[in-house]
Structure 1
Amino acid sequence: MEVKSESALTKSAVLGISLILTSAPAINGALPAMRHDLNIGTSQNELLSTIPSLAVIVFIILSGFVERWLGTKKTIFISMILAGLGGIGPMFLSSYPLIFISRLLLGCGLGLYNSLAVNIISQLYQGDTRATLLGFRGSMENIGQCVLTVLAGLLLSLGWHWSYAIYLLAFPLAIFFYMVVPEPAKDDETLSVEEKTKAADSDEGNGNKIDPRMDHLHPFVWVLVLFSVFMVLDSLCSTLRFPSISVGIKGEGYNASFFLSLMPILGILAGLVFGYLNRKIGIAVLYIGIALYVVGNVLMAMSAHNFAFALIGMMIIGIPGAWCFPYIYTTIGEIMTPRMGTLATSLILIGCNIGNFISPLYMGLVGKLFGTDSLTAPFIVLAVVFALILIGLGIWNICRVMKRR
């Protein structure tokens, strides 16, 4: 198994399955045309972009049971086929309820292998290879989102149904994965290695250090989960509202897909420099990330009649997630054992999908609470939220430093 897993072909297949994991918003550019043709409201329309996240949340929880029943390899393969079928459904459907169900099926497939896309790398690889591939995997999500968003925009010229053809990619990726990737070791084999390592590291009597990391769920994890909800919610709100804001400024028929495709490119570039920034400035990278959220949301809030503000604001909001999420995962690895780290990561993934799902509901709620139909109103609230997070983080860090003294 080790020899097979080290091949470039196998690594490509393992990384390739992440290309469609964040593809649900890739069809956002088609939403204005769908709203007109299907004669539905803004909230119903935007829900088509985020409803897959509800299914993802449920099936992240169920994926462990399915994996134990079918095995990791078969679970990933079947999940990708389900995602592909759900993804291409709207190509042939013109009924909102049926399209809604199809989008749910997409979410079921994506959720079923969401955490497995990370776990299979940890199961097949060790050391630097594992770390490198985990870093590449995050970039693959952004690359996939970028490429699929561009393709969906190009296909939009043929009609909104054709934008959903991007999900045909799931089928060759699934077949390629199943053909070249070996079945990972069973849980008991993995555990035996972990137990040996833990025993070796924890024998203080033999001169080794006891692992200082916690073997329980740190309460601060729930704060990180909530933070993750807001980060993903903000990202989705910006990409959901930008096309409509653009149409309001530029006129009916304006296609914003090109600009939407640039957002993940910025995420890729930002992610590439995270390691360097983290080594040089440490926790300051988190402060900068949150500050960028504040600036981006302020610009979006002021963009009702200013296309440049909307564009720059959306682009800025696309940067900090590539710094904040890696910082969170790095911190989890430092303060928790691998077993608890896995649980914490799963909770954060669920938080991400909650943020994804509730984004249109949040935007509708803001409109009702403030009695406005302004497309930019949700960003005023988000700017305040991230400003409070930034202040709270600063106070917490000052208290922590003073306590150490």
Structure 2
Amino acid sequence: MSKIINYSEVLESKRLMVGVLSVSFLLSAGNAISGTIPAMEEAFSNISKANIETLTTIPTAGIMLGTVLSGVFSNYLGKKKSVLAGLIIALVGGVIPAFLPQYWPIFISRFLFGVGMGIFNPLSVSYITDLYVGDRQRSLLGYRNAVSNLGDTIMLFVAGILITFGWNITYLVFFALLIPIVLIILFVPKEFDNFDIRNSALDENGQISDSVSDVKPSTNLKVIEVGVVFMVITMLYNAIPLKFASYIVTEHIGTASTATWIFSFLVLAGIFSGVLFEKISKVFKRLTVFVFEIVIGVAYITIAFTYNIPLLTALVLISGFGWGIINPALTARLVDVSPINSMNLSTSIIVIFISVGSLISPYFFAMFAGLFGNDSAAFAIVVGGALYVVMAVLDFIKIKKNKELSI
């Protein structure tokens, strides 16, 4: 007989919410070691610059493999053990370079780190969508983005301190993965491994059973459609990370350090958008994605014609804020279209589409540069902005046709 748990006491507990959100604390942890690349180029003088830079991108390949494995892990181990397995794999892969500072051990460990990230990343979403509904679900999806940005900030700060002791010592920052490991062990009951609030019974006393659904995970074209949207907007959003520094330098607005300084504020936009997402989504409702795609599109196009640093900073922050709203909004939309008992599979599909969008974005903008004979950074940013507006129009048509979407 399945164990009976109290809905009001457990699902409403702050401890469970902290535990669930902790899975997202280090989703952007890989960014923490970006500052070690110049030092590694010097340390590995016999290795090409391209191969050194590959150490920052190889985790993406690992993430894609880990994402595929996430469903397998979840089916055999359950959610809690799968998340812990992913975090432990990422922890081990993350810290190996601190003890084995040679190229190939680092290469393998970075791939292993990505595999671990890929295993627990989809579960950071499905835990929220399977345990909560309505305003609470949307609030936590927004907080998930805020927590991820906060974790990114802390990791970068700690890495900045560690790198003064040696580039390989910087990798000790990944011991921070112990934080979510401990919180999940303490705060997230295993009874929720197979629980889906959309497919569970609730009696008059607020009691629910941790039912194991007989419905096998599946997908549909609507999930794939959300994945394609995620892929395209991720690809377009990369116009700023890829081209903004070049725009600043080539237009003699400032230096590369100016762009880095501006980017350092992006995390604040991510935190604020995550915290405010629930309130904003209540205001714009089904138009949320449409409105903020327009916001990003207009901001990008304006950036390409702006030469004032304070205004550029404001526009980049507006873009980051818009992305911080669109991301959880599309995730909430994914909940609407995902089949019962399939959120982990659906999220895995989305993560793969996002990874593909990130990987192909440089080639996408290079293609447009070749088609129009214009390889300037400003042109690439304009292309990104214009296509965001196109995506907004397509989204407006979609929400008019599909009345089932709640956001």
TM range (shorter): 0.7 to 0.9
Amino acid in structure 1 at the alignment position of 2:84? F
Matched residue SS, 1:104: helix
What is aligned with 2:285?
Answer: 282
**Greater mean deviation of Cα atoms: 145-154 or 360-369:** 360-369
Matched, 1:295 2:298: yes
Match of 1:210?
none
Structure with more helix by fraction: 1
1:164 and 2:171 equivalent?
yes
Matching residue of 1:194: 199
In structure 2, the CA distance between the partners of 1:237 and 1:367, relative to structure 1 (3 Å rule), is same
Query: Could you say if the C-alpha distance between residues 28 and 318 of structure 1 is closer, same or farther in structure 2, counting changes exceeding 3 Å?
Result: farther
2:205 alignment counterpart: none
State the AA in 2 paired with 1:24.
G
For the Cα contact (< 8 Å) 1:298–1:313, is it kept in 2? no
What is the CA-CA distance between 1:285 and the residue it aligns to? 2.8
Give the Cα separation in 1 of the matches to 2:86 and 2:356. 20
- Give distance in 1, aligned partners of 2:376 and 2:161: 29
1:326 maps to a residue whose letter is P
Q: 2:231 aligns with which of 229, 241, 251?
A: 229
Q: Find the partner of 1:266 among 255, 264, 269.
A: 269
| Structure 1 unaligned residues grouped into runs of 5+ | 198-214
Q: Which residue of 1 aligns with 2:59?
A: 52
TM-score, structure 2 length as denominator?
0.74
| Aligned-residue offset at 1:140 | 1.4
Give the 5 Å matches for 1:93-242: 95-121=102-128, 132-156=139-163, 160-185=167-192, 187=194, 190=195, 194=199, 219-239=221-241, 242=244
Residue of 85, 92, 108 corresponding to 2:92: 85
Decide which moves more: 391-400 or 266-275.
Answer: 391-400
Q: How many residues align?
A: 380
Q: Does 1:21 align with 2:27?
A: yes
- DSSP 3-state at the match of 1:239: helix
Which 10-residue stretch deviates more, 114-123 or 135-144?
114-123
SS at match of 1:115: helix
In 1, distance between residues paired with 2:304 and 2:42?
25
2:266 and 2:317 in contact (8 A); partners too? yes
Provide Cα deviations, 1:111-152, integer angstroms capped at 9, x if missing partner.
111122233345666777666544433321222123223433
Query: One-letter code of the match for 1:285?
Result: T
CA drift at 1:244: 6.5
Q: For 2:318 and 2:237, locate their aligned partners in 1 and report how far apart those are by CA, in whole Å.
A: 10
- Mean Cα deviation higher: 318-327 or 177-186: 177-186
Q: Go from structure 1 to structure 2 and tell me whether the alpha carbon gap of 1:65 and 1:196 turns closer, same or farther (over 3 Å shift).
A: same
Go from structure 1 to structure 2 and tell me whether the alpha carbon gap of 1:176 and 1:275 turns closer, same or farther (over 3 Å shift): closer
> Letter of the aligned partner of 1:286 in structure 2?
V
Q: After the TM superposition, which residues 344-355 of structure 1 pair with which residues of structure 2 at under 5 Å, given as runs?
A: 344-355=346-357
Q: CA RMSD in A?
A: 4.1
TM-score when scaled to structure 1? 0.74
Residue matched to 1:388: 390
Greater mean deviation of Cα atoms: 309-318 or 370-379: 370-379
C-alpha offsets along residues 15-42 of structure 1, whole Å, 9 cap, x if unaligned? 2221111222344455556556656777
- 1:319 pairs with one of 301, 313, 321: 321
Aligned residue in 2 for 1:72: 79
Counterpart check, 1:356 vs 2:358: yes
Residue 80 of structure 1, CA deviation: 0.9
Sequence identity percentage = 26
Deviates more, 1:88-97 or 1:241-250: 241-250
SS at match of 1:282: helix
